[in-house]
Structure formats: structure tokens, C-alpha cells
A and B are shown apart, each in its own frame.
Chain A
Amino acid sequence: EVQLVETGGGLIQPGGSLRLSCEASGFTVGGTCMNWVRQAPGKGLEWVSVLYSGGSTYYADSVKGRFTISRDNSKNTLYLQMNSLRVEDTAVYFCARDGSPRGYYYYYMDVWGKGTTVTVSS
């Protein structure tokens, strides 16, 4: 079964760091494009970052320079390292797989996890 499970959320003080993990099953994270998307309390979905199969990474302006997306192919796991956290980073963080056929980029997300909650507060 194709599945994504996020872990690593928690309560962290402003300025702190946290690393989220997203373990995949049923497919290999290294062979596809993977995203992080977040949802702040009472707000809509916000795209955060993408990691292409070739290794290129891109970020939303709101997290650029503070967040780093990466993967460990041996663990079939995607990560999001979050540094210099701000109160406004409080959200449920989802990882999601791009559903485009190999070699193509149609920019949609066909498999999502249930999310992990990050709360930034003093």
C-alpha cells in the first residue's frame, strides 16, 4: 500500500529547531518529486518546499533560508529541517508525493500523509 507517515512535530520555542520526518511505503522517495505543505490553525493549505528526484530543492519565500528539505533513500524517508522557528510557523505539516509520471512534471500531489503538528510558542 502506498502510504506516507509524518512524525517529529511538537512544541518548540521561537528561535528553536525541529526536524520532521516522512516515511514512505509502497514507493521510493528517491524516485519521485516530494513536497511539504502546511496548514496553520484556521487557515488554508500553504506549499512549503519541493525536492526533485534529481536533488534540486525549492522553497516558499516564507521559509527560504530557514527550512531545508532532504531525503535518505536508504530509509525511504523525506525530511524537513526547520530552523529559526517563528510563531507563524505553527501548523500541521503534510508531506505529499508528486503524481506525475516519471520524467514529467505536472505539479500535482497524489499521495498525502495525515500530517504532524508543530506548535511554536514561548
Chain B
Amino acid sequence: QSALTQPASVSGSPGQSITISCTGTSSDVGNYNLVSWYQHHPGKAPKLMIHEVSKRPSGVSNRFSGSKSGNTASLTISGLQAEDEADYYCCSYAGSSTYVFGTGTKVTVL
């Protein structure tokens, strides 16, 4: 199972919006509405930001939103803040009780 493809880095100024793409195949992202997104500050526990493509867990800022079209899922961060600087990973169910993560995107707040 190959990793989902994400841009290596995305940057934006405070207050701007950025979007991170996550491209898979018809066997994973395209076949299931089971994409989740995680924020990871190195050395800390990853944090769930979005599940089932667009659902936001309680406690996660509404500045974070998710969507999907075909084999590509996206995470949008609006009103970018300094605390949003982190690594972000998408993850999709890939069938047969397996998962596949994305390659990861480093978000930099300029």
C-alpha cells in the first residue's frame, strides 16, 4: 500500500487560509468516506483534527475543515495562527482492516 501524496510544505501568513491536499487512489480515498487528519508537533502525541472526511471532534477549532473530491481529500485551515505551525497527516481506510497515511505536510506560518 503506497502512502497518500501530500505536498511537503505549505505556508501562509497569519490570518490567511491554506489548503493541504491528500491524493490517493480509488482503493482508498476514492472508495471510502473515511479520511482523517492529524496535527503533529514533533515530540508530542498526534492530535485528531478531522474524521470521516469533514467531521470535527469537539474541542477542535472551527478554523479547520475537511472535504473530498474523487481520490483527493483536503484540509483547509482558515485564519491561520502561529499555533497552527506543525506537521499534518491525512489517513484513509484502505480496505481489509488496513489504513494508509499521507506523506505529511509541514505547515509554516510566515
Q: Is A50 an interface residue (CB 8 A)?
A: yes
- A62's nearest neighbour on chain B, judged by CB, is B1
Q: Is B45 a contact of A94 with CB atoms below 8 Å?
A: yes
Query: Are A58 and B48 closer than 8 Å at their CB atoms?
Result: no
Task: Find A107's partner among B38, B46, B93 (CB 8 Å cutoff).
Answer: B93
Complex interface bits, A40-64 against B, C-beta within 8 A gives 1, otherwise 0: 0000111100101000101011000
Instruction: Contact check, A45 vs B36: say whether CB atoms are below 8 A apart.
Output: no
| A58 with B103, Cβ < 8 A, contacts A99-B51, A109-B48 known | no
Task: With CB as the reference atom, state the residue of chain A lying closest to B92.
Answer: A107
Interface residues of A in 13-70 (CB under 8 A from B): 35, 37, 44-47, 50, 52, 56, 58, 60-61
- A44–B102 CB distance below 8 A: yes
Q: List 27 A-B contacts (CB under 8 A).
A: A37-B46, A44-B89, A44-B101, A44-B103, A44-B104, A45-B38, A45-B46, A45-B91, A46-B3, A47-B99, A50-B99, A58-B97, A60-B98, A61-B1, A94-B46, A106-B51, A107-B99, A108-B48, A108-B52, A108-B91, A109-B36, A109-B91, A110-B48, A112-B47, A112-B48, A114-B45, A115-B45
Q: Sorted from nearest, which 3 A-B pairs have the closest CB atoms?
A: A108-B51, A108-B36, A44-B104
Name B's A-contacting residues (CB within 8 A): 1, 3, 32, 34, 36, 38, 40, 43-48, 51-52, 57, 89, 91, 93, 96-104
